[in-house]
Structure 1
Amino acid sequence: MIRAGRNPQSTPRGALALATCLALLSGAAGAQDTTPSKEQILESLQNGEQVELRLPDPEEQLPLEDLRKFTEVFSRIKDAYVEEVDDRTLLENAIKGMLSNLDPHSTYLAPKEFEQLEESTSGEFGGLGIEVGMEDGFVKVIAPIDDTPAQKAGVQAGDLIIKLGDQPVKGMSLEEAVKLMRGKPGTTLTLTIMREGESAPIEIDVVRDIIKVKSIKSRLIENGYGYVRITQFQAETGSEFVRALDDLKKDNKGKLDGVVIDLRNNPGGILQAAVEAADALLDEGLIVYTEGRIQSSRLRFSAKPGDHIAGTPIVVLINGGSASASEILAGALQDHHRAVVMGTQSFGKGSVQTVIPLDETHAIKMTTARYFTPDGRSIQAKGITPDIEVKPARLTEFDGKPFFTEADLSGHLENGDSEADGEPAEDGSDADASPVDRDYQLRSALNLLKGMKILDRGSQGQSN
């Protein structure tokens, strides 16, 4: 406590300086306090009254020495930098620096970046078609987006981009790198990439295009078995997912025997869309919750009654390109034992970003919370571990038919069936190749669903 009485030698100017200093100190504290205002201090001093002042908590107030250092650096740059820099540029760069050193996902959004963020969540924008982040100063590919120039050119999840055209990436901000990747449709950008398992950098030419992301793709991969691919979580993904399930049931002319939900290389997107997708498959219970320092960042999302496919077995496919909202959906279905999660470890982006407008054209995107699965598992930097690990593999089939069979023996007994003996079965070689024939992980998911169906049929037979 400091008690201040009237000093006969004090001038009003001296009192004003004292009051101003104290007001600045109290303002710097950033918390509620009972320090009198400048006007109250002046009035009390002039009336000869004692004024009781409470100094702000040193642990709460802003570091004034560091603030002085900031203004000193600002002034030095203004006066001595080789080229003239305006105040707005210096202040915006300071804001960018504050945010970029927090974590890879917090950033300052100038008008162009703000517009690009809105484009990416709406599902149409110009560029290469990759979701990226920063790692060790390089741009890391989280996932190539389906049916985009980057995916068609061979860019893979986990690739480290070390050069964009002729420009080294080291030292760039993520925003600067994204700006270089975007451009006029039809123009080519050469990506120099380091890839795990390769001893030398790879150069990939990618032709920029208008990126139109189709969020949901679905089809029957066999009679009774549906496949839903979610490429990205956009504003309408939840409702589109439900429609896709309805279409699969209609195409199958009845209840499905199993569904594969493919979240591989899905970089995430809108939280609410992932919650809606999980809600369509869960009858009750917590889907996801978030924890942060402020009350508005502490949220809980729970399922409403009603499973849209009535308990049909599900396999969820994930990999290192499955991030954020994808991990929320996979984690919720895994914790509720509603699906078998298959594939490889997911990306591990378990943080929540909030876009906070500063004015009509500027905003900051800041990490405000962490995601947790229903069982309380943090996704951040850990990801989702699959129930069954299945790594990608190249499928090479060979003729496994034996050299001869019983039917080839002279004088063999007839089968007794009405169908003609020895008539070769159709092998379907003329049919269009199914995606299952090219995708080892998808084939493994389908085989698991078939096995679950056989076991279920066997248990029903025993109970009868």
Structure 2
Amino acid sequence: MPQLFRATSLALAATLLGGASLLHAAEPTETVASSKAPLPLDELRTFAEVMDRIKTAYVEPVSDKTLLENAIKGMLSNLDPHSAYLEPDDFAELQESTSGEFGGLGIEVGMEDGFVKVISPIDDTPASAAGIQPGDLIIKIDDQPTKGLSMMEAVDKMRGKAGSKIKLTLVRDGGKPFDVTLTRAAIKVKSVKSELLDDGYGYLRITQFQVKTGEEVGKALAKLRKENAKKLSGIVLDLRNNPGGVLQAAVEVTDHFLKKGLIVYTKGRIPNSELRFSADPADASEGVPLVVLINGGSASASEIVAGALQDHKRGVLMGTDSFGKGSVQTVLPLTNDRALKLTTALYYTPNGRSIQAQGIVPDIEVTRAKVTKLQADSIYKEADLQGHLGNGNGGKDKPTGSQAASKSKLQDDDYQLSQALNLLKGLNVTRSN
């Protein structure tokens, strides 16, 4: 019975990140059955009567199977946005998504006012390449309005073979609708990316939490230390537009930055939903200064990591408020290759915070901004003046224009990232004193 953390999603052709091999616990069916109330006979009679009326009076014949499956879908869809009835294809796609390879567009979505809302595009996918942004509303799919469609119906319409095209009509920030044409692709998501931003300063980007993400983060930290040839001076952990994923992966990632203490705990109605996860003494990050970047596309498992690091004061959170999904989904396999994806618990940060519908508030708010370099004014320096004195300490003269053009770096075009790096450098200046 896998526990899943993720915003209601599709990753387009995957309904949500998770799978049958993620985190196993005893099936709660016996516990639920032992405490269930008597069957509501009056309501069941009404249900049977409605079903009979539809079969006899509806304009076209409808099979019992169709009516019953639609009834099941209705039961789940009216509970909360993240519970769902998974038919065989949906269940198989959910399981495949945890491996990091699936077909589609690469969009995590939710529902808002009856429309499909983009939670985040996934890096290096057709959606991110097309410039789709968190918060965009998908109001039409191939010119058909999404208003009134269920999440699963919208997902089905956006699925398709790799190489086929689809047109989405979007609304951004209440503006005018605009069309985006995308080509579906086989999505292969690498969950962890890393590089050195500057000497001594590492960058870790987690795009989503898959089964092996914790292991990959450990390898990435070791790789950064090796490339730097010594202990790092600071790390930026980038969780922006990360829609979540596997609970155990979020715990493992957090554990790489903590030596002790609670990471997350969950509470629900059934005993099996009450879990606690704590850090072990090992610290793969070696305790170096840490800045964690979050935004409105950081959801679920991302918020677990950010919330734990914030509560333990292990790092400084920077960016904008996170998405606010604080619930746990459990996949309950049924017969005939079907399953229920059911919300079974809420999770809490180490200090007992539930972020459900509120999100994580960063320690330092930094909104997105475009970085533009200004040309240096034509000014003279002392070293430009004829007959200037030399440097008594033997330092080399630095006249105007003596600095070589620097190679473009990742932080040059990312204001939030550049601010995170500057904060790390500032922290190191004060620590060294």
TM-score (norm 2): 0.89
Structure 1 equivalent of residue 392 of structure 2: 416
Q: Once the two structures are aligned, what percentage of the paired residues are identical?
A: 61
Deviation at residue 414 of structure 1 after TM alignment: 3.3
Structure 2 equivalent of residue 136 of structure 1: 113
CA shift in 2, pair 1:340/1:252, >3 Å: same
Query: Residue 383 in 1 paired to residue 332 in 2?
Result: no
Query: Residue 444 in 1 paired to residue 415 in 2?
Result: no
User: What is the one-letter code of the residue matched to 1:208?
Assistant: R
Deviates more, 1:390-399 or 1:416-425: 416-425
What is the CA deviation profile of residues 253-273 of structure 1, one whole-angstrom value per residue up to 9, with x for unaligned ones? Answer: 110000001000000000000
User: What is the one-letter code of the residue matched to 1:150?
Assistant: A
Query: Residue 434 in 1 paired to residue 409 in 2?
Result: yes
For residue 98 of structure 2, give the secondary structure of its aligned residue in structure 1.
helix
The 5-angstrom pairing of residues 65-464 of structure 1 reads 65-196=42-173, 199-401=175-377, 403-409=379-385, 412-424=388-400, 426-429=402-405, 431-458=406-433
Deviation at residue 437 of structure 1 after TM alignment: 0.5
What is the CA deviation profile of residues 293-345 of structure 1, one whole-angstrom value per residue up to 9, with x for unaligned ones? Answer: 11000110001111112211110000000000000001111100111110000
Structure 2 equivalent of residue 4 of structure 1: none
- How many pairs does the alignment contain? 402
Deviation at residue 401 of structure 1 after TM alignment: 4.5
Deviation at residue 421 of structure 1 after TM alignment: 3.2
CA shift in 2, pair 1:156/1:428, >3 Å: farther
What is the CA deviation profile of residues 384-419 of structure 1, one whole-angstrom value per residue up to 9, with x for unaligned ones? Answer: 100000001000111345623334456544333435
Counterpart contact for 1:291–1:297, Cα < 8 Å? yes
Higher Rg of the two aligned structures: 1
Bigger fraction of residues in helix? 1
Could you tell me how far apart the structure 1 residues matched to 2:367 and 2:158 are?
30
Deviation at residue 88 of structure 1 after TM alignment: 1.0
Counterpart contact for 2:137–2:172, Cα < 8 Å? yes
What is the CA deviation profile of residues 396-448 of structure 1, one whole-angstrom value per residue up to 9, with x for unaligned ones? Answer: 1113456233344565443334355354565342x431111000000000000
TM-score (norm 1): 0.84
Structure 1 equivalent of residue 22 of structure 2: none
What is the CA deviation profile of residues 31-75 of structure 1, one whole-angstrom value per residue up to 9, with x for unaligned ones? Answer: 679xxxxxxxxxxxxxxxxxxxxxxxxxx4443322221111000
User: What is the one-letter code of the residue matched to 2:424?
Assistant: L
Could you tell me how far apart the structure 1 residues matched to 2:394 and 2:122 are?
53
CA shift in 2, pair 1:449/1:32, >3 Å: closer
Could you tell me how far apart the structure 2 residues matched to 1:161 and 1:275 are?
33
Could you tell me how far apart the structure 2 residues matched to 1:77 and 1:420 are?
89
Counterpart contact for 2:384–2:399, Cα < 8 Å? no
For residue 217 of structure 1, give the secondary structure of its aligned residue in structure 2.
strand
The answer to which structure, 1 or 2, has the higher relative contact order (CA under 8 A, 6+ apart) is 2
CA shift in 2, pair 1:253/1:92, >3 Å: same
Structure 2 gap segments, 5+ residues each: 1-31
Counterpart contact for 2:266–2:345, Cα < 8 Å? yes
Counterpart contact for 1:30–1:61, Cα < 8 Å? no
Counterpart contact for 1:350–1:381, Cα < 8 Å? yes
Could you tell me how far apart the structure 2 residues matched to 1:419 and 1:32 are?
81
Could you tell me how far apart the structure 1 residues matched to 2:321 and 2:190 are?
25
What is the CA deviation profile of residues 69-119 of structure 1, one whole-angstrom value per residue up to 9, with x for unaligned ones? Answer: 111100001111111111111111101000100000000001011011112
Could you tell me how far apart the structure 2 residues matched to 1:91 and 1:402 are?
77
Counterpart contact for 2:143–2:169, Cα < 8 Å? no
What is the CA deviation profile of residues 206-257 of structure 1, one whole-angstrom value per residue up to 9, with x for unaligned ones? Answer: 1111000101100111110000100010010010110000000011111000
For residue 347 of structure 2, give the secondary structure of its aligned residue in structure 1.
strand
Could you tell me how far apart the structure 1 residues matched to 2:398 and 2:369 are?
36
For residue 122 of structure 1, give the secondary structure of its aligned residue in structure 2.
coil
The ranges of structure 1 where at least 4 consecutive aligned residues each deviate by more than 6 angstroms after the TM superposition are: none
For residue 309 of structure 2, give the secondary structure of its aligned residue in structure 1.
helix
Could you tell me how far apart the structure 1 residues matched to 2:323 and 2:260 are?
27
Counterpart contact for 1:263–1:316, Cα < 8 Å? yes
